[in-house]
Structures are given as structure tokens and as C-alpha cells.
Structure 1
Amino acid sequence: MNYTLNQLQIFLKIVQTESVTKASEELHLTQPAVSIQLKNFQDQFDIPLTEVVGRKIYITDFGKEIAEAAENIINQVHAINYKTLTYKGQLTGRLKISVVSTGKYVMPYFLSGFMHQHAGITLVMDVTNKNKVVESLENNEVDFALVSILPNTLNVEKLDLLQNKLYLVGSTGPDFGESSGTQEIFKELPLIFREKGSGTRQTMESFIERNHISVLKKMELTSNEAVKQALLAGLGYSIMPLIGIKNELHNNELRIIPINGLPIITTWSLIWLKGKRHSPVSKSFLDYLENEKKQIVQDKFHWYEQY
């Protein structure tokens, strides 16, 4: 047998995603390239690793055992790489961060420079809703979490990174008279909400309740991207974080609708459990942010000040 590390990685990703297409997307490879490597890998075994029924790929029992062995081999290779880098005096290890869904527009910019400085660090970043982010932090499954609303059930420490501004947004702007108040305006707008457990939804509902607004609820969607696509299609309006609609505003595909009391301003904060003993990697990342966050905001989020 003469299989390569690349083939092991591709096969393991296919097993994890149960799809050649999804594996190719996650590995940033073309689908034909992944299919060829899968075929070359399978041809080295007398027993099938996969079966295709209809258009779906299934992993055989033997294939699952090979995948488990492949994962062990890959982990050992990572361990060798870490030991080599450590011997050379370079920082190694894992940095685990849980990020609320809209935070995916924020966190990568605060990670990029640090990751380029430390090639031996593996980043594990989970993007999900606020409830699951808080749960992973509470269970000490991650080093840090990025949130725009601090959890009131946990004792945490924080590092503020960037303002979070939320505006009323739609594909078109309704023409209201000057005498129209906030309550009257919202009676005419079909609103699109994020799912329960979302920090954006929590902020939106707090605004509605605080201003005693009666709203025409249109629909509930489970991601910021889904809400944005619904707005682009003209299905309604929503109170959305500015951070996720930069291109749409620039291209005049979406517009901010001026409303008294908006924007709502919160803060994107990196948080961790109070008293947590940081690993060398997470401690180094905190030090990096303390020194570089102001410059990162200036370089990457200068457009934010226009709104």
C-alpha cells in the first residue's frame, strides 16, 4: 500500500461530512479532485470503504475502521509537528473559540495576524447561536467566546473589541410622514426575527418591549445570512447588526431606515470564565489583542464610522 497523508485527510473529511461535495468545500478543493483521491485511496484495499446508493455516499463498516485509524495517524502527525515547533521555541497548541453567528464577521479579523505569527497553533472556531456559545463556555469546552450581550448566568471576564450597531434594515425604505412615531411606523412593517436563543433577537425584542411597540411579525429564520437573503428578496424588515451588511449597503441592495431609538449599540466582547487558567496559547492571544485591537479596528473597521 502506498497511500498518502493527503488521501487520509480527504477520506476522513468525506466520512465526517458524508458527502464528497461537502468535503471538497471544507477542504477548498474541487469535487473532481476529491473524487479522484478517494478512488485512488479505495483502490488500495480489497474491501470497499464506501458505497454509493442513488446519489448518496455511505461508509462501510470497514471504511469506518479505516477512518478511525486515519484520524489517529493524522493526530500523530500533528503531534510530531507540534513537538518540532516546540523544540524550535515556537508557540504550539490549540486555540478554541465559540462565536455567536454574527460574530463571524468580526472574529476572523482579530485572529488573522495572530495566526500568521504562530504557524504551530491550530484554531478551532465554532459559530453558533448565543445559547450554545454560553453553554460551551460554561462547560469549559472553549478558551474564549465572542458575544455582543454578556451572559447574566456566568461569572466572566472580558475584553471589549468593537462596537455592535443594530439598525432597522430593508431592501426599500417606506415613505412615512414626518409626524409618524416609532410605534406607528412598526405597525406597517412586517418584521423578520432570528430564532430564539439568538443575541440579535434578544436585542430586537428588548427594543420592541422597551418602546411598547406592537409589530406585525412576518417570519423567524435561523441565521443572519437567512435574514439578509429574506430582506434582499423584499420579504420584510429586520433590526440587524451593521457588521453583517457592509457589501449590501455599499451596493445599495439594502438600506438603513431611520428610526428614533436606533441604532442600538452593544459591544462585541471576548469573554472567558473568571479565574480560568489560560494555556500559553490563549494567554498569548489575549496579550496580542491587548496590544493590537486598536490598530485592527482602525484598519479593518474604519467604514463602520460612516454610520
Structure 2
Amino acid sequence: MHYTLHQLEIFFKISQLKSITKAAEELNLTQPAVSIQLKKFQDQFPLPLTEYLGRKIHITEFGKEIADTAENILEQVASISYKSAAYEGKVAGKLHISVVSTGKYVMPYFLSDFMKKYPGIDLTMNVTNKSEVVKSIEENTVDFAMVSVLPSHLNISRIELMRNELFLLGKDNPSKSGNHLTTKEFKKLKLIYREKGSATRQAMESFVDQQKFTNHKKIELVSNEAVKQAVIAGLGYSIMPIIGIKNELKNKEVQIIPIKNLPISTNWNLIWLSSKKQSPAAIALSNYVKENKMEIIKKHFSWMEDRSLLP
């Protein structure tokens, strides 16, 4: 057999994404180039690694075993590079971060200059809902997580990043007075919720319950972007973090609806298990965020203090 590391990388990426097109995009290759390398790799085995059902590619059981082996080989090769960099006094290694979906508007700004400073670090950032983020910390599969609500059942360390405020948003203000929405007016709104497991969903449900509102008209969507687009389209109203609607507020596509007991204020936090032995890459990120967070907030998030965006 004469397969190459390049072929191993391509096959492993295909097995992850279940798509030649997506693998090509992620590896910055053309789709024909990926298909050719997959065929050359496949031709070296007596059993098929993939099969097609309709137009969709599937990984065979034998292919899954080869993919697992390929992953181990690629990790060992990467570790050689990391060890080499360490002997040269450079910080290198893998860094895994899990971020709640609205945190995608925040975390990249804390990582951008850090990744430029440490080019030997390979970053994986998974964006999902709160329950999955907490699960990744609980199972120790990530170095850090970014959350706005701290998991009380875990012994964690944290770096407080910045304020997170949630407002009631709509395409227009349904208040007859054009001012603060009354309880009676709120009860008539069709509310748009995030999916269960989302911290934004929990905050919204908590607000509705605490105010003793009985609102039965609701829509449920599975991402912050989907909720935002639904609000812009006029499908309903939602309680959302202001961090994700900067341009929409400035362009007057949505507006903040004043109502008693809003906004809800929390804080974004970078957290990790207190018992976790941090890698050099993780220690470097902790130190970088502590030293630079105020400058990053001032540079990228000062717009949140712009009162002209608020009612």
C-alpha cells in the first residue's frame, strides 16, 4: 500500500462531513481533486470504504474503521509538529472551544489576534446550544466553553468577559401609546422561541413565567439567525441578545420594544473545569484574554453603549 497523509486527511474529512463537496470546501481543494484522491485511496483496499445511496455518500463499516485509524495517524503527525514547536520555545497544540450560539458574535473577536500571535495553535470552535456546550465541559471534551449562564452543578473556573443584555424585539412597536408595552398588549403577541436547551429560550421562558403572562401563541425555531430573520419578516416577537442585532438595529429592520423588567442582564464567561490540567495552548489563551479583554471590548463592542439604538 502506498497511500499518503494527504489521502488519509481527505478520506477522514469525507467520513466526518459525509460529503465530498463539503470536504473539498473545508480543505480548500476542488471537488474533482478530492474525488480523484478518494478513488486512489479506495483502490488500495480490497473492500469498499464508501457507498452511494441515491446521491448521498455513506461510509461503510470497514470505511469507519479506516477513518478511525486515519484520525489517530493524523493526530500523531500533528503531535510531532507541536513537539517540534515546543522545543523551539513556541506555543503550539490543539485548542477546542464550545460556544453557545449567540456567543458566535463575541468569541471570534477574543480569538482573532490571539491566533495571529500563536500560529502554531490549531483551533476548533463548535457553536451549539447551552445544553450541548455544558455537556462538552462535563465530559471534558473541550478546553473551554463560552456561556452566559454558569452551570451550577460543575466545579468550574472562569474569566468574565462582557455584559450580555436581552431585549424584546419586533419589526414594529405594537403599543397603542407608542411607548412601553402593557401586560395586556404583550399577551396578544405571537412569540418566537429558540429550541429547548438554549439559554436564550430559558431566559425568555423565565421572563414570561415571572411576569405571570399567559401567552399561548408561539413559534419555535432552532437557531438565533432563524429567530432574527423571522422577527425581521414580521412573523412575531422574541427576547434576544442585543449582541446579534447590531446591523439590524442600525438599519431599522427591527426595533427594541420597551417593556417593564427588560432587558435581562447576564455576563458572558469563558469557563473550564477547575480540575482540568490545561495545555500550554489553553494557558496561553487564558492569559491572553485576561490581559486584553478590556481593550477587545472597547475596540469591538463599544457600540453596545450607543443609547441611540435603545428606546
Query: TM-score scaled to structure 2, two decimals?
Result: 0.87
Question: Percent identity over the alignment?
Answer: 59
Could you tell me how far 1:80 is from its partner in structure 2? 1.6
TM alignment of 1:242-261, pairs within 5 A: 242-261=242-261
Distance 2:156 2:301 in 1: 26
Distance 1:6 1:80 in 2: 16
Could you tell me how far 1:32 is from its partner in structure 2? 4.4
The residue type paired with residue 293 of structure 1 is K
Tell whether the 8 Å contact from 2:170 to 2:231 is kept in structure 1 after alignment. Answer: yes
Could you tell me how far 1:297 is from its partner in structure 2? 0.8
Distance 1:143 1:60 in 2: 32
Does 1:9 pair with 2:12? no
Distance 2:35 2:259 in 1: 53
TM alignment of 1:219-258, pairs within 5 A: 219-258=219-258
Show the counterpart of 1:193: 193
Distance 1:150 1:124 in 2: 22
CA displacement, residues 178-218 of structure 1 (integer Å, 9 cap, x when unaligned): 58643122112100111222111111122222222232431
Show the counterpart of 1:67: 67
Distance 2:35 2:72 in 1: 23
The residue type paired with residue 108 of structure 1 is P
Distance 1:210 1:157 in 2: 30
TM alignment of 1:40-189, pairs within 5 A: 40-42=40-42, 48-177=48-177, 181-189=181-189
Show the counterpart of 1:288: 288
Show the counterpart of 2:206: 206
Distance 1:249 1:266 in 2: 21
Show the counterpart of 1:38: 38
Distance 2:135 2:68 in 1: 28
Could you tell me how far 1:4 is from its partner in structure 2? 4.2
Q: Which stretch shows the higher mean deviation, 105-114 or 60-69?
A: 60-69
Distance 1:291 1:92 in 2: 20
Could you tell me how far 1:124 is from its partner in structure 2? 2.9
Tell whether the 8 Å contact from 1:186 to 1:214 is kept in structure 2 after alignment. Answer: no
Could you tell me how far 1:260 is from its partner in structure 2? 3.0
Secondary structure of residue in 2 paired with 1:301: helix
Does the C-alpha gap of structure 1 residues 32 and 247 become closer, same or farther in structure 2, counting only changes over 3 Å?
Answer: farther
Could you tell me how far 1:69 is from its partner in structure 2? 3.8
Q: Which stretch shows the higher mean deviation, 128-137 or 284-293?
A: 128-137
Does the C-alpha gap of structure 1 residues 31 and 300 become closer, same or farther in structure 2, counting only changes over 3 Å?
Answer: farther
Show the counterpart of 2:269: 269
CA displacement, residues 109-161 of structure 1 (integer Å, 9 cap, x when unaligned): 11122222122222232322212222222333332221111222223332111
Secondary structure of residue in 2 paired with 1:215: coil
Does the C-alpha gap of structure 1 residues 276 and 52 become closer, same or farther in structure 2, counting only changes over 3 Å?
Answer: closer
Distance 1:46 1:139 in 2: 37
Query: TM-score scaled to structure 1, two decimals?
Result: 0.88
RMSD: 2.5
Secondary structure of residue in 1 paired with 2:217: strand
Tell whether the 8 Å contact from 1:170 to 1:256 is kept in structure 2 after alignment. Answer: yes
Distance 1:301 1:136 in 2: 28
Instruction: Give unpaired runs (5+ residues) of structure 1.
Output: none
Could you tell me how far 1:282 is from its partner in structure 2? 1.8
Does the C-alpha gap of structure 1 residues 48 and 131 become closer, same or farther in structure 2, counting only changes over 3 Å?
Answer: closer
Does the C-alpha gap of structure 1 residues 83 and 228 become closer, same or farther in structure 2, counting only changes over 3 Å?
Answer: same
Secondary structure of residue in 1 paired with 2:298: helix
Could you tell me how far 1:269 is from its partner in structure 2? 0.9
Q: Which stretch shows the higher mean deviation, 221-230 or 250-259?
A: 250-259
Does the C-alpha gap of structure 1 residues 298 and 33 become closer, same or farther in structure 2, counting only changes over 3 Å?
Answer: farther
Secondary structure of residue in 1 paired with 2:152: coil
Could you tell me how far 1:104 is from its partner in structure 2? 1.5
Secondary structure of residue in 1 paired with 2:137: helix
Secondary structure of residue in 2 paired with 1:111: helix
